[in-house]
Amino acid sequence: MPANLPPEYFEAEKRFKEASSPAEKISALEALIATVPKHKGTDKLRADLRRRLSKLREEAVKKKKGGRGNLYTVPKEGAAQIVLVGFANAGKSSLLASLTNAKPVIADYPVSTVMPLSGMMPFEDIKFQLVDLPPIGNESTDGWVSGIIRIADVLLLVIDLSEDPDVQAELLIEQLSQWNIQTAGDDKSGVSKKTVVAANKKDMSGAEEGLEKLRQRYQDTYQIVGVSAVTKEGLEELKSVLFEVSGIVRVYTKEPGKEPDLDAPFTLPVGSTVLDLAAAVHKDFAKGLKYACIWGSAKFPGQRVQKHYVLKDRDIVELHV
């Protein structure tokens, strides 16, 4: 029986042949397998591809044991780590590509994302790390996907406005709850996560109606931003909301008698003190800190404050040790 392979197969096969690193090869081969239709004519091909995938994974595990890292973890970078959570074809990869410099596989067929892929999203003078994950509901990846979600700082639920968005949101939240990961506004026990909803595909017909349904049901619990990865509508608002929800403040430092360094702020959790900043600059600063001078939230420029003064966003701090 002929295989009758779709055009997507040959595109994915080309990406696999061009892949170089173990992670890229595994990602490309998983994407290739996802394009193969399931019927008797493709049984031998699918079996062969899965054997090759198994061999690649075994080799990757050996390298991991040799100290070369883990394919299924994403080291945190930037001001906060934000993971994109959604079902197949919700537009997560397109959103990642629109917000960052990452170049994910973007395709019409489901499960084009098979490995975690991160990119840095600029916001004013800082950057956030966005991580695209395989879609929720894939048994082969859900195990390690839930692990990455569990340690992320913020969840970005990506909802397709063109297809029952309120039901999608309900199912996503329910699945996360089954993993004992509670989203913002959920009072159940478990790991509570800051959560934002990106209502994607706002450019499509019927999107406004879908967005209204989503807001009627969830606007009291989550911040919902209507966006389009295609037209870029709503992306700047989404960045601002993610910064707000992330719960961080930017703090700049200066040396006595010199201008502040406004190019690379320290990012600290809301509620952080002068002492927390000193520890972030250098552990010896925290030990020897006497006081600090503050510009920004202070009552007057250069106000002298003590170690436990709570810092605000965009404060400029001069540490004295």
Contact (CB, 8 A) for 292 and 317: yes
The confidence score (pLDDT) of residue 237 equals: 97
The average pLDDT across 218-224 equals: 93
pLDDT for 112 beyond 60: no
pLDDT for 47 beyond 50: yes
pLDDT for 156 beyond 70: yes
| Mean of all residue pLDDT scores within the chain | 85
DSSP state string for 45-80: HHHHHHHHHHHHHHHHHHHIIIII--TT-----BS-
pLDDT for 95 beyond 70: yes
Q: Which of 99-103, 151-155, 266-270 has the lowest average pLDDT?
A: 99-103
More confident residue, 314 or 190: 314
Which CATH number among 3.40.50.300, 3.40.50.2300, 3.40.50.2000, 2.60.40.10 corresponds to the domain 81-246? 3.40.50.300
CA pair distance 267, 307, nearest whole angstrom? 18
CA pair distance 183, 156, nearest whole angstrom? 10
Closest to 233 in 3D by CA, of 94, 80, 126, 119: 94
pLDDT for 176 beyond 60: yes
More confident residue, 294 or 144: 294
* Residue 54: CB atoms within 10 Å: 10
Residue 32 pLDDT level (bands cut at 50, 70, 90): confident
Residue 5 pLDDT level (bands cut at 50, 70, 90): confident
The average pLDDT across 181-192 equals: 63
Q: How many CA atoms lie within 13 A of 268 on its CB side?
A: 24
Residue 301 pLDDT level (bands cut at 50, 70, 90): very high
Architecture per CATH, domain 248-320, reads as Roll (3.10)
The confidence score (pLDDT) of residue 268 equals: 94
The confidence score (pLDDT) of residue 126 equals: 95
The confidence score (pLDDT) of residue 1 equals: 45
Contact (CB, 8 A) for 25 and 57: no
pTM listed for this prediction: 0.75
Closest to 72 in 3D by CA, of 155, 132, 144: 144
Q: At what angle do helices 207-218 and 165-178 cross, to 10 degrees?
A: 40
pLDDT for 146 beyond 50: yes
pLDDT for 110 beyond 60: no
- What does each C-alpha distance from 80 to 109, 200, 310 come to in angstroms? 31, 22, 20
The confidence score (pLDDT) of residue 28 equals: 75
Domain boundaries in the chain?
7-68, 81-246, 248-320
Per-residue pLDDT tens digits for 254-287 = 999 899 988 889 999 999 999 999 999 988 888 8
3-state DSSP assignment of residue 36: coil
Task: Pick from 69-83, 98-112, 114-128 the range whose average pLDDT is largest.
Answer: 114-128
- Using alpha carbons only, how large is the chain's radius of gyration in Å? 23
The confidence score (pLDDT) of residue 185 equals: 55
Contact (CB, 8 A) for 33 and 49: yes
Contact (CB, 8 A) for 86 and 172: yes
**Beta-bridge partner residues of 254:** none
- What percent of the chain shows pLDDT beyond 70? 86
Please name the amino acid found at residue 112: S
